[in-house]
Chain A
Amino acid sequence: MKKIALTTLFLSLLILLPDKVLAQNEALFISAAGTPSAPRVPMVWNKYYTNAGITDFCRKLEKAFPGLVSLSSAGKSYQGRDIYVLTISDKKSGNPDHKPGFWIDGNIHSIELQGSEMAMYTAWYLCEMFDQNDFINQLLKDKTFYIAPSINPDGRDYFANIGVPPRSGLIPFDNDRDGLFDEDGPDDLNGDKNISQMRRRNPDGAYKADPKDPRRMIRVEPGEKGEYDLLGMEGIDNDGDGQINEDGPGGYDGNRDWGFNWEPNYVQSGAHKYPFSQPENRAVRDFVSSHRNITAAQSFHNTGGMILRGPSIQNGGAEAYSRSDDAAIEAIGKKGEKILPGYSLLTIWKDLYSVYGGEIDWFHGAMGCFVYSNELWNSYMMFYDRENTDSYEFDKLLLFEDGFIPWQKVNHPVYGEVEVGGFSKMFGRLHPGFMLETDAHRNAAFCLYNAYETPKLEISNLKVTKTEGGLREITASITNTRMIPTHSASNLKFKIDPPVYAFLDGGTVVAGMIVENADLNITSEQKRNPQRIEIPNIAGYQKVDVKWIVKGGSKYTVRVESVKGGRASAQIE
């Protein structure tokens, strides 16, 4: 291990100038367990990255790890920003697009920033640990990660520069149906790049300051005198229609836009015109549709501490989920609960609410992937306690009130003198800096576990037997050594991907068959093209036996190709 680390160090010296500095600093550190000891791309994981920061990271990672990383753009956002995808795999060990793929995206909802950091951390960790850890080495030999840190870059920049954005991207949308688009959004009245709350002094108001922490507004008891009205989000009536903040920027939902079980806006609030109305999602669709090796996927949201699985509507998965798929999804999710303390595995329609046209349903239903959506950060994580989940106390004791904007007087054109304040946009749904790396690592570990369980095909028991008439019988077993099948139930039913193909090269194939029972010689013969036996599915931990009858040849190669299960081959003389 030490030798490898030294070699890495030497290589990085050659590749990158800044690493010279690092190298000099090497003596200053003792490597912690499970952490890159000398990262080629030094990163800080206690803050959030802008689009510029994400782009910079992606480029640096590609440059530092040319043998692992390829950076591409899946397409452009509405405002013309690139949707970057990092393809990470050990390129030496085979074409990345032929290995089982794992997709990760973050930030589909613009306010849900930290999905990007989770995705970036995963990319960074994989690269920096490569050659330092055997598990990661093997994982990148076997698998390919496709990581899109932000699939809503417009919303992200809006957050960074202006304030609290909508959930959506920034296609103009007429929420109040008056013919004007985005004409009355929230306004940053005190110029702090935050959209916080408004309150107004009123002796008849329904709220008062909490005596335990006067920053907090609490409802008054019946008969008790109040102090304040709460007036909602910071903003004015920009269009003079008697309503405040009723038509802000964007205002649809990127996660109600996917082409599976889609319903229109009046059924499913947030839907746009039709599936893939949004260029950001179209970009992801195009990338994923043209990388059918993507077998499993992870989408990052906030908040609530949930590992969400489909189906997202009642009965919506009846035709798409089988019992064995379900068992794999549950098993991986349950392992996730262990990896992510405070997170619970939930089924969307049953435990949360119905979602039509959600991203993970498209991944599962249309693309045949095994997919989760994690709702990052929850109140448990503040004190590692399900009971005490007081944000104000956490902010006071651990953030020293940095997460709160003190109430500040502002003149409001409609309400008169109001006060603007409350939790800042950086606290409530987003991890505080010091907790970001911890959760990024745990979520990365969950992704790695899920990716590990994507199929791995191995050929064994390869045998040649001479039979009558100078023919030879060649038998082999093809085993999927992991939990996820090569084909999900919907993949099988709707033939989303080709079957697993087992080829025999060498000699002339006279007949080919799947052996159902070797002892009783029960086989199913494939009449057409027997040289390429079609195996509909190899379930998790299952084995399929194949047999060819061959004329001539002396050296035989069995090749297995599966779109989602990867490739394998074995030779025999």
Chain B
Amino acid sequence: MNVFLRFSILALMCCFLSVSTGAQGRYGDHRVMTRTVEALAKEYPSLCSVKPLGKSAGGKELVVITIGTGDRDNKPGIAVLGGIEGSHVLGRELAAGFAGYLLKNSGSPEIQNLLGKITFYVIPDVSPDASGQFFSDLKYERNVNDTPVDDDRDFVTNEDPLEDLNNDGLITLMRVSDPAGKYMKSPDDERIMVEADFSKGETGSYLVFPEGIDNDGDGLFNEDGPGGVNFNRNLTYNYEAFGAGAGAHPVSEPESIAVLDFLFDHFNIYATMAFGPQDNLSQPAKPAGGRQAAAQPAEQGYIPGGQGQFQFPGAFPMQGPPPGPQSMRMMTGQARKITSVLSQDETIIKLVSEKYRNITGVNGSPAATLPPGNFMEWSYYHYGRYSFSTPAWWFPAEPGKNPGVAFLKFAEENNMENVFVPWTEIKHPGFPGKKVEVGGIKPFVTINPPEDRLQDLIEKNSRFIVEMAAMHPELQFLDMKVENQGENIFRISLKVHNKGIFATCAAAGERNVFTRLMRISVETNGKQKFLSGQKVQTIKRLEGGESAEYSWLIMGKGTVKITAGAVNTGIITTTAELK
């Protein structure tokens, strides 16, 4: 079928789907999430099952919802993950919401057909310890699990957490009037604190810290709070040893181990879709030939989706070498390492990202960050799968503008209320005789939309996944011929054709031992004999629309069975009568 024709049909089908799906239109905590997932399993027992994957460091269960019909683990699969970073609670809703969307629309012929061909593995929250902070009495953007970590490496653990000094249940900022301070009120928006630009003749008059006290009296504020390790820094690609939130070594955490073991054990998974801070869907894939700079340097003022702890200049010295293209990891590439998207894969990512933009209608791009050890890059470079990721919602950054100022403007234009805590004076034991005020942008609001946006986001993003999944690799036999050569000798010839858009595996996975190789095998009746051609052989990687030709010369009449493929492409069989 013509690719464009198929797309049009899909688009048409889309119109018939019921509009109302998904979750309750509210952010739900771990208990709510668990109940929602269990309810789905109960309501659609023939289509889905829920299995525990293991427990987080803090003892919360990670689950996977498996959705599909037939022999689920033996046909191509897509993993959908949320909670890549705990502060991005939207990701959890989108992942779980996708499961709901798929099941509630499972009656439609399109989705019914898709569930027969593709298995979806939805892991709604890979960072339950961190995401729990959103629902707790003390709210702050947290991306680390409960593993005790001595963040500031002073050989005391978790001794200097954040404190809610103004008793509003939120951790915001703290500014201290001080002539030696480097911060000033932004000329664009007085509510936002920015670093004074000496080259413009500006001077600062404030010190700025995250809200809290210096519990251990080491001159640093809140540099060693509860936890922990960030799932999205703990994976093997471009891992930064001793980096913030990176863990004792790559994949050191129960969450990372549980998720990666599951993915590695499911050889049928050919693509992953992550809802997290990394983005390769809002814009066409970057041209091959090098990665972008790693983690963006911390901007002054508010940092959306930071490193799991607040980072302010002077507040928390970074341990380890600064990430960046010049770090030693980059120089050890050698010939075999893949460090940029391969051109064959780039074509697909481009196609998929176009689809994403068309379906969701997103504008602009979120701030690009490729921190060390992140999931999106791991999935592509080390797992060897097609890897997609989007935060799904963001506010447009304005070049040269402070992100805090840009956000407040965006919030105003979009009627987002209640996003700012006005600066109010408090008494701070650490700054006797100095004026200290607490205030600033509320946690979470810059990276998670208001709840009334959830439903729409779930539908659009789910719609996207359905259409992306429809581009799956799919094998078929073409031009099968049996020629009787006389003397009881038969020649069988055929093509194995990939009629999908995606290749049979990502090019990045071709040499990865954890990607299955397709094989084609011919089973004879035992009396027949191969004169030419092998009983079993591997099939090379096939791009979308590509074929591979095979022929065998067999002596002896009877039926032969031909099987081709691998679990990640689907396995097809046919028979030939030699007579």
Contact A315 B332 (CB under 8 A): yes
Nearest-neighbour CB distance to chain B for A311, whole angstroms, equals 10
Whether a CB of chain A sits under 8 angstroms from the CB of B26 is no
Q: In the docked arrangement, what's the CA distance between A178 and B517, Å? A: 6
Q: Which of B235, B248, B336 contacts A267, CB < 8 Å?
A: B336
List of B residues within 8 angstroms of A526 by Cβ: none
- B252 within 8 Å of A by Cβ? yes
Q: A191 interface residue, CB < 8 Å from B?
A: no
Q: Which residues of A contact B514 (CB under 8 A)?
A: 265, 273
For residue B536, CB closer than 8 A to chain A, the reply is yes
Across the interface, do A275 and B251 meet the contact criterion of CB distance under 8 Å? yes
Look across to chain A and name the residue whose beta carbon is closest to the beta carbon of B218: A528
- Given A179-B267, A259-B248, A366-B248: A264 in contact with B512 (beta carbons within 8 A): yes
Task: Write the chain B residue with the least CB distance to A494.
Answer: B242
The closest CB in chain B to the CB of A285 belongs to B249
Chain B residues positioned under 8 Å from A261 (CB to CB): 332
**Which residues of A are found within 8 Å of B154, using beta-carbon distances?**
495
Contacts of A175 on B, CB cut-off 8 Å? 513
- Let me know if B397 is at the binding interface, CB within 8 A: no
B513 and A266 form a contact (CB under 8 A): yes
Are A275's CB and B512's CB within 8 A? no
Q: Which residues of B contact A366 (CB under 8 A)?
A: 241, 248-249
Shortest CB-to-CB span from A192 to chain B, Å, is: 30
Complex: how many Å from CA A466 to CA B516?
A: 78
Cβ–Cβ contact B336 & A266, under 8 A: yes
Chain A residues near B516 (CB-CB < 8 A) = 174, 177-179
**What total of chain B residues lie within 8 Å of the partner, measured CB to CB?**
49
Are B236 and A495 touching (Cβ within 8 A)? no
Q: Are B242 and A274 in contact (CB under 8 A)?
A: no
Contacts A178-B519, A240-B536 known; A262 to B236 CB distance under 8 Å?
A: yes
Interface flag for B515 (CB, 8 Å): yes
- Contact indicator B337/A259 (Cβ below 8 Å): no
Is A313 engaged at the interface, CB distance under 8 Å to the other chain?
yes
List of A residues within 8 angstroms of B261 by Cβ: 273
A179 pairs with B332, CB closer than 8 A: no
Q: Is A498 an interface residue (CB 8 A)?
A: yes
Knowing A262-B250, A266-B513, A528-B217, say if A495 contacts B328 (CB, 8 Å). Answer: no
Q: Let me know if B328 and A289 touch, CB within 8 A.
A: no
Contact indicator B334/A354 (Cβ below 8 Å): yes
Q: Within 8 Å of chain A (Cβ to Cβ): is B537?
A: yes
Taking CB atoms, residues of chain A closer than 8 Å to B328 are: 315-316, 318-319
* Residue interface mask B381-398, A partner, CB < 8 A = 1: 110100000000000000
Complex: chain A residue closest to B509, CB-CB = A266
Contact B242–A263 (Cβ < 8 Å): no
A366 to chain B, nearest CB (A): 6
Our pick among A178, A276, A316, A318 for the contact of B249 (Cβ within 8 Å) is A276
Interface residues of B in 320-356 (CB under 8 A from A): 320-321, 328, 331-332, 334, 336-338
Q: Are the CB atoms of B537 and A242 closer together than 8 Å?
A: yes
Q: Which residues of B are found within 8 Å of A273, using beta-carbon distances?
A: 251, 260-261, 264, 514
A261 to B248 CA separation, bound complex (whole angstroms): 13
**Residues of chain B lying within 8 A (CB to CB) of residue A178:** 516-517, 519
Chain A 352-389 interface residues, beta-carbon cutoff 8 Å to B = 354, 362, 365-366
* B319 and A495 contact, CB distance less than 8 A: yes
B273 close to chain A: CB less than 8 A: no
Contacts of A264 in B (CB 8 A): 236, 381-382, 512
- Provided the pairs A178-B516, A494-B319, A528-B217 are in contact, do residues A266 and B511 lie with their beta carbons within 8 angstroms? yes
The answer to whether A314 and B384 have CB atoms under 8 Å apart is no
- Say how far A303's CB is from chain B's closest CB, in angstroms: 26
When distances are taken between beta carbons in the complex, the residues of chain A under 8 Å from B249 are: 259-260, 262, 275-276, 362, 366
Given known A242-B534, A319-B321, A528-B218, contact A179–B336 (CB-CB < 8 A): no
Interface code A465-500, partner B: CB below 8 Å = 1, 0 otherwise? 000000000000000000000000000001100100
Please name all residues of chain A whose beta carbon is closer than 8 Å to the beta carbon of B382 when the two chains form the complex: 264
Q: How far is the CB of A384 from chain B (nearest CB, A)?
A: 38
Closest to B329 in A: A261
Contacting pair B319 A274 (CB below 8 A) = no
Confirm or deny: B174 has a beta carbon within 8 angstroms of a beta carbon on chain A: no
Q: Mark A313-357, 1 if CB is under 8 A from B, else 0.
A: 111101100000000000000000000000000000000001000
B 152-171 binary contact with A (CB < 8 Å = 1; else 0): 01110000000000000000
Contact check, B384 vs A494: say whether CB atoms are below 8 A apart: no
Closest to B530 in A: A242
Asked whether A134 is an interface residue with its Cβ less than 8 Å from the other chain, the reply is: no
CB within 8 Å of A: which B259-276 residues: 260-261, 264, 267
> Within 8 Å of chain A (Cβ to Cβ): is B120?
no
Proximity string of chain A (206-224) to chain B, C-beta cutoff 8 Å, 1 when within and 0 when not = 0000000000000000000
Q: In the complex, what residues of B have CB within 8 A of residue A573's CB?
A: none
Q: In the complex, A274 Cα to B459 Cα: how many Å?
A: 35
B291 interfacial contact with A, CB 8 Å: no
In the bound complex, CA of A160 to CA of B535 (Å): 36
Q: Taking each of B332, B381, B521, which has the highest tally of chain A beta carbons within 10 Å of its own beta carbon?
A: B332
Considering the chains assembled together, what is the distance between the CA atoms of A366 and B242 in angstroms? 9
Residue pair B332, A316 in contact (C-beta under 8 Å) = yes
- The answer to the question of B438 belonging to the interface, with a C-beta cut-off of 8 Å to chain A, is no
How many Å lie between the Cα of A494 and that of B246 in the bound state?
Answer: 13
Rounded to whole angstroms, the CA-CA distance of A56 and B294 in the bound complex is: 53
Contacts of B155 in A (CB 8 A): 495, 498
Tell me whether A289 and B248 are in contact in the complex, defined as CB-CB below 8 angstroms, given that A178-B517, A242-B535 are known contacts: yes
Contact B260 A274 (CB under 8 A): yes
B window 201-248: CB within 8 A of A: 217-218, 235-236, 239, 241-242, 248
Residues of A within 8 A of B281 (CB): none
Decide: A494 and B320 in contact? CB cutoff 8 A: yes
Q: Quick one: CB contact mask for A5-32 with B, threshold 8 Å, 1 for yes? A: 0000000000000000000000000000
The chain A residue with its CB closest to the CB of B513 is: A265
The 8 Å CB contact of A259, one of B235, B252, B331, is B252
Residue of B nearest to A317 (CB): B328
Contact with B along A157-186 (1 / 0, CB 8 A): 000000000000000001111110000000
**Does A495 lie within 8 Å of B153, measured CB to CB?**
yes
Q: Is A519 an interface residue (CB 8 A)?
A: no
B173 within 8 A of A: no
How does the 8 Å CB contact mask read for B288-317 relative to A, with 1 for contact and 0 for none? 000000000000000000000000000000
Known: A240-B536, A262-B236, A318-B328. A275 touches B218 (CB 8 A): no
CB under 8 Å from chain B, chain A span 245-277: 259-267, 273-276
**Given that A265-B512, A266-B384, A315-B332 are known contacts, is A242 also in contact with B536, CB under 8 Å in the complex?**
yes
| CB-nearest residue of chain A to B267 | A179
Question: How many whole Å from B451's CB to the nearest CB in chain A?
Answer: 37
Separation of A260 and B319 alpha carbons in the complex (Å): 17
Q: Is B566 an interface residue (CB 8 A)?
A: yes
Closest chain A residue, CB of each to CB of B319: A494
B567 within 8 Å of A by Cβ? yes
Interface core residue of A259, A314, A315 (most chain B CB under 10 Å): A259
Bound CA–CA A498/B152 (angstroms): 12
Complex CA distance for A289 and B247, rounded to whole angstroms: 13
Q: A316-B332, A494-B319 are in contact. Are A260 and B535 (CB under 8 A)?
A: no
Q: How far is the CA of A313 from the CA of B217 in the complex (A)?
A: 41
**Closest approach, in angstroms, between the C-beta of A16 and any C-beta of chain B?**
43
Determine which of B218, B236, B338, B512 lies in contact with A274 in the assembled complex, contact meaning CB atoms within 8 Å: B236
- Taking CB atoms, residues of chain B closer than 8 Å to A262 are 236, 239, 249-250
The 9 tightest CB contacts between A and B, nearest first, are A259-B249, A495-B153, A274-B251, A241-B536, A266-B511, A494-B242, A265-B513, A177-B517, A498-B155
Chain A residues with CB under 8 Å of chain B are 174-179, 240-242, 259-267, 273-276, 289, 313-316, 318-319, 354, 362, 365-366, 494-495, 498, 528
Could you list 20 further interchain pairs (A-B, Cβ under 8 angstroms) beyond the known A174-B513, A259-B250? Answer: A175-B513, A179-B567, A241-B521, A260-B241, A261-B332, A262-B239, A263-B236, A265-B512, A266-B336, A273-B264, A273-B514, A274-B235, A314-B331, A315-B331, A318-B328, A319-B321, A362-B249, A494-B319, A494-B320, A498-B155
